[in-house]
Every structure is written in C-alpha cells, then in structure tokens.
Amino acid sequence: MSMLLSRGRGAVRVEPRAVERPVNTLLLVLLLLLGTGLIMMTSASMEIANSMAGDPFYFFKRQVFFIGVAMVVMLVTLHIDMNLWYRSSPLLLCMTLVLLAAVLVPGIGTVVNGSARWIDLGFYRLQPSEMAKIFMVLYMAAYLQRHRNEVYERWSGFLKPMVILAAAITLLHFEPDHGAMVIMMLTTFTMLFLAGARLHRFLLIVMVCFAGVVALAIMKPYVINRLTSFLNPWAAEYVYGEGYQLTQALIAFGRGEWLGVGLGNSIQKLYFLPEAHTDFVLSIIAEEMGLLGVLFVLSLFITLVWKALRLGRECEARGRYFPAYVAYGTGMLFATQVFINFGVNTGLLPTKGLTLPFLSYGGNSLLVSCFMVAILMRIEFELRTRPDPDPAGGDA
C-alpha cells in the first residue's frame, strides 16, 4: 500500500519497505535433508526393490508416504505447547518402557535378523526404541527442570535418573539394540553434565559401563569378532565374513573419489553392499556424489545440531530450563546417531546397524526425526513470542 506525502503544490509517493522475514534455518535444513535422502535412497534401492517387489520405485513410494505422514505429525506437534510435553513426559516414558518390554514377548514382538525390535501392527511395524530416545530426553529435561539444584549438589539428584536409564538400557539389551543403548546413554550423560552435574560423579558410571562392555563381550563372542574384524576388515578370515559389509562400503568411498561416478551409476548397490538403502546409504552417496556430496550432507547435520544447541543456550539464558534441556538432548540425539553412522560407513567404528536420520529408508526413524525437528521449531516459536518465566516460580 503506497502513501502520499504532500509537499507544496504536488505530492510525493513513498513506497513502504517490504517486511524482511528471516529464513527458518530448521525448516530449510529439514527440506534439504528430506529431498537429498529421497533421491539417494531411491537410487540405492531400485535394484533390490525391483527384485523384491517387481517395482523399482517400491521403496520410493513407501518413503513418500512416510514423509507425508511425518508432515502431518510435524503440523500437530507445532501446535502443542511445551508445557504439555513437560506434564506428560512421565506418562510417555512409561508407555515407551511398556512397549520396549512388549517386543520381548513372543507373539507380540517381531524378530528380524535375530533382533526383536518391532511390533507388527499389520499396516506398519512400530519400533519402540526410536520413540524411547526422544521420550527419554523429554523425561530427563522435565526432571532437570524440577531438580537442578539437587543434581548439582547431591549424589541423589544424579543417581535417580540413572535408575530410569538403567531400566531402558536393560530392555534394549535384551532386544538387542546396542546402538540405541549407546545413543541414549551419551545423550542422558550430556544433559546431566550441561545441567551442572559434577564431572567426578560420572567416573562411577563410566566404570560400570566399561564392566558392562567387558561382560557383553564375554557373553556374546560375536561382539569380539566385530571388533577384531573392524580393526582389519581386509584380512582373509574377515573379508568375506564379519568384515564384508565394511570392505564393500570402503570400496564405494574409494570409487566415488571427489565428485562421484554420477547419480544412479553406483555398482556397490547391485547386491554387493548389504543394506545399501538403509544403514549404508551414506556409502552410496559417497560413490555417486563423491566426497563433496558427503561433505554437503555432513554440513546439513552440523547446521541442525548447531541450531539445536544454540536454541538450548538461548532458552537457558532466559530461564526456560525445560525447553533448553530438550533442545540440548535433541541436538545430542542427532549428533550421536550421525556420528555413529558416519563412523560405521567410513570404518572409524565397528559395524553396527543404525539408520542415518532423514536419509535412510524406514518409517520409524523418519517419523521420529521429523517429530524432533518440530519440537525444536516449537521451542524457537515460544522463545520468540512468549515472555520469559518469572525467576521466582515461572512455568516450564
């Protein structure tokens, strides 16, 4: 709408400045990751989809459906006040623990490749361990909001959440889902540390965890085999056994060089690299898009984690402790999962089945990842539009 300003005999027309709206970094990164993931997952899955279902776009169609459902989940989440998550976090965690126990019950849990991680609902396989990670973050954030001083000053404040964490880890161990165990532990420890827990109190927990790893290696020899094969996957006794997946992934990285062999031209996805469209989609990106493609994906995840941690810092500085710890925990969930997946694909860590958020095929990971981004967007919205809580009492 223009305005007229009279000046002597005539009039001067002044056009108002357009309102500049900042780019929503979280939404932009989300769309770039979803677009990149859909393209690369489709490229990695066409051959196996054609052999399994007679349709090279079978996984593409399912992933598009999951993206549509994820968008609906995000829209709903964006309209939910953070105070509601604060109040309902104990109930959500209890529900998740019940589901983690249910997958271990014969007839309820579905076993795939020796792991009971899913509940078959007919139209969808629910994986409770994916939900458990973010619901644990919500519960721990609510606990830290209520007991900040106790966590800092006394052992009791530090050990109480360890009991809840131990229950979840025990259930995940029996599935087994060791990747989720590690991610949940690292995220919880980070949240406690950022909340003010004394560093020396972590020493006891670290000793217990080390003893647990040793006991696990003794009880399950395949863990030792994975460790030894990871150190030298090209050895004759491993290259066609425990080290096969890693060597094929490294071949994909080697073929890609700087710029890749071109979209759709991967050879490793032609039944050489197992799980190419799920846990090892990064290797296909490296082969087809080269090192620059991998660095592009990595930069998107770094931006996402940086934004989450920055939101947490802003919330904490303004006395909004619950959303601050949720943002910290969500950032750590993304950081640890991406770090482990990158480490496994590049041979820096032992081989472990763990999806790459937004890029790997699978509805559970995609829905939970989009839900976590929506939580961050809601935190940012409330940070910009709501007054700070009263330091004397305040709300969460």
Residue 243: predicted pLDDT:
86
Calculate the average pLDDT of the chain.
Answer: 88
Confidence of residue 242 (pLDDT cuts 50, 70, 90): confident
* For residue 394, pLDDT beyond 50: no
Residue 21: predicted pLDDT:
62
Tell me if 25 is assigned to some domain.
no
Distance CA 55, CA 238 (A): 34
Confidence of residue 350 (pLDDT cuts 50, 70, 90): confident
- Please name the residue that has the structure tokens 């050990």: 159
Tell me if 6 is assigned to some domain.
no
* For residue 20, pLDDT beyond 70: no
Distance CA 299, CA 29 (A): 10
* For residue 253, pLDDT beyond 50: yes
What pLDDT digit, counting tens, does each position of 101-144 carry?
Answer: 999 988 888 887 777 888 888 778 889 999 999 999 999 999 99
Tell me if 290 is assigned to some domain.
yes
Residue 338: predicted pLDDT:
97
Average pLDDT over residues 12-41: 79
Tell me if 268 is assigned to some domain.
yes
Among the ranges given (5-14, 41-50, 62-71, 352-361), the one the predictor scored with the smallest mean pLDDT: 5-14
Establish whether the linkage from the previous residue to 176 is cis, with ω within 30° of 0.
yes
Tell me if 5 is assigned to some domain.
no
Task: Write the burial class of residue 202 (CB in 10 Å: 0-12 exposed, 13-18 middle, 19+ buried).
Answer: middle
Average pLDDT over residues 253-274: 93
pTM value is: 0.90
Q: How many residues would you count in the chain?
A: 396
Residue 19: predicted pLDDT:
47
213 in Cβ contact with 207 (< 8 Å): no
Distance CA 295, CA 254 (A): 15
Tell me if 353 is assigned to some domain.
yes
Q: Which tokens in the block code for residue 13?
A: 């027309």
Tell me if 208 is assigned to some domain.
yes
- In the DSSP assignment, the letter for residue 259 is T
Q: Which alpha helices (H) appear in the chain, and where do they start and end?
A: 25-53, 58-78, 82-102, 128-146, 148-153, 155-174, 178-194, 201-219, 221-231, 244-256, 281-317, 321-346, 363-385
Residue 396: predicted pLDDT:
43
* For residue 262, pLDDT beyond 50: yes
**Which of the pair, 227 or 140, is modelled with greater confidence?**
140
Domain span at 329: 34-385
What pLDDT digit, counting tens, does each position of 138-168 carry?
Answer: 999 999 999 988 888 888 888 899 999 999 9
Chain centroid to CA 139: how far? 17
Residue 235: predicted pLDDT:
81
Residue 3: predicted pLDDT:
47
Q: Which tokens in the block code for residue 42?
A: 């489709």
DSSP-derived secondary structure for 121-133: -SS-EE-HHHHHH
Residues 6+ apart with CB under 8 A from 350: 226, 227, 230, 344
Chain centroid to CA 113: how far? 22
Distance CA 63, CA 257 (A): 29
Distance CA 243, CA 372 (A): 34
Closest CA to 80 of 326, 392, 301: 326
What pLDDT digit, counting tens, does each position of 182-205 carry?
Answer: 999 999 999 999 988 888 788 888
Tell me if 3 is assigned to some domain.
no
DSSP-derived secondary structure for 160-221: HHHHHHHHHHHHHHHTT-HHHHHHHHHHHHHHHHHTT--TTHHHHHHHHHHHHHHHHHHH-H
372 in Cβ contact with 133 (< 8 Å): no
Average pLDDT over residues 288-311: 97
**In the chain, how many domains are there?**
1
**Which of the pair, 308 or 241, is modelled with greater confidence?**
308
Establish whether the linkage from the previous residue to 274 is cis, with ω within 30° of 0.
no
* For residue 173, pLDDT beyond 90: no
* For residue 209, pLDDT beyond 80: no
